[in-house]
Amino acid sequence: MAIATAPRQITAAKTLGLSAMPSLPVVEKTGMSWKKGAPLVDDGSTGRVIEVTSPIGTGSQVALIGFAEDDASGVAGRATRMVPCFPGAQIFEGNLKNSGAGTFHTLAEADIWQCVKIAKDATFSTGYWFLDANNASTTTMTVVNDGAMIVGFKDPVGTVDARVYFIVTAALRKPATGTGTLG
């Protein structure tokens, strides 16, 4: 019997047409407690970064700017780094899981090209983010309700809660409009 597993951090996996993974300096806002691999957005007022509210892809436009390279320090104004979500340049790696306690997802060939939401782990309280197979669709990358498109498999088909490669959908890279659009 398969057992659901805790997700691991989202990581930068590959680049398309670049010789190195891009990394940008950013400044964290006061009181942040994100884990490495957390999706980051601009706070909307000071230019500092915050962890986005989970799940990403619930119809709100979040303007995802990148994924944290380190855990947050919790110190206001502390410099940190992120891998940006430049269009078409970065491929990320994360767990494809089902949301909900006691459930699991077995990787299938049909998972390729699926658009899914990006959600924060609540079951195992790891603070890590994962791709939610319970919220998959076969729609195009322009759909606001989806945060990531699966573009490849790291683990073989049949693996429970497998690691997959994904890109951030175009809908999440759109700039936020006005205030209060961060999720």
Question: What is residue 45's predicted lDDT score, i.e. its pLDDT?
Answer: 87
pLDDT at 16 over 80: no
Of residues 172 and 131, more confidence is placed in: 131
Of residues 137 and 85, more confidence is placed in: 85
What distance in Å separates the CA atoms of residue 10 and residue 37, rounded to the nearest whole number?
A: 5
Q: Which DSSP state fits 171?
A: H
Strand order in the sheet with 79-84: 24-27, 79-84, 66-68, 39-42, 49-51
Question: What is residue 119's predicted lDDT score, i.e. its pLDDT?
Answer: 87
What distance in Å separates the CA atoms of residue 117 and residue 18, rounded to the nearest whole number?
A: 27
Type of residue numbered 63: A
Query: Residue 160 — very low, low, confident or very high, per pLDDT cuts 50/70/90?
Result: very high
Over residues 47-72, mean pLDDT: 80
Question: What is residue 57's predicted lDDT score, i.e. its pLDDT?
Answer: 63
Over residues 93-120, mean pLDDT: 88
Over residues 21-28, mean pLDDT: 90
Please classify residue 102 by burial: count the beta carbons closer than 10 Å to its beta carbon, then call 0-12 exposed, 13-18 middle and 19+ buried. Answer: exposed
Question: What is residue 178's predicted lDDT score, i.e. its pLDDT?
Answer: 40
Which sequence spans correspond to the domains of the chain? 88-171
Over residues 110-133, mean pLDDT: 87
Query: Residue 182 — very low, low, confident or very high, per pLDDT cuts 50/70/90?
Result: very low
Question: What is residue 146's predicted lDDT score, i.e. its pLDDT?
Answer: 63
The answer to whether the beta carbons of residues 85 and 10 sit under 8 Å apart is no
Tokens of 173: 């890279």
- The sign of the dihedral angle between the CA atoms of 55, 30, 36, 8 is negative
